[in-house]
Copies of this chain bind each other. A is one copy, B any other.
């Protein structure tokens, strides 16, 4: 029986999600920040361009859920590091085509197994039923939150 005049913060869904997410993304960012010296937006940008190949900054933002100023700064930082190259689009001179350099591609390939093993480390201490439940629950929540 729940008390109607009180809210149990530790059971409140938005709070549980932020707490989990804070802990997980802090742990994960340590894993690559120490290794690669990347910030979170830079990591996401690397991951997105690595996944799709050449993209524009707007496309990176759309696919990684980042504000365009974040993308802009992350792209600038990765360019300074010479991990990506900007090429003017001949069709539309507002647009820049972003591509990973050889070094950037190498960094991406090093990063992928780190990310996979981090995720595995999270999931391996759950039972198969729990893992399945998590995926079902997250997909349902995404459906209700990220659409319409």
* B119 and A144 form a contact (CB under 8 A): no
Residue count of chain A within 8 Å CB distance of chain B: 59
Q: Which of A98-125 contact B (CB under 8 A)?
A: 109, 111-112, 115-116, 118-119, 122-123, 125
CB pair A22–B119 under 8 Å, yes or no, is no
- Is B9's CB under 8 angstroms from A47's CB? yes
Number of copies: 2
A18 on interface, CB distance cutoff 8 Å: yes
12 contacts across the A-B interface (CB closer than 8 A): A6-B50, A7-B47, A7-B111, A7-B112, A7-B115, A13-B119, A17-B24, A19-B142, A20-B21, A126-B140, A131-B137, A136-B137
Q: Please list the 5 inter-chain residue pairs (A to B) with the smallest Cβ-Cβ separation, ordered nearest first.
A: A134-B137, A130-B140, A133-B136, A133-B133, A21-B21
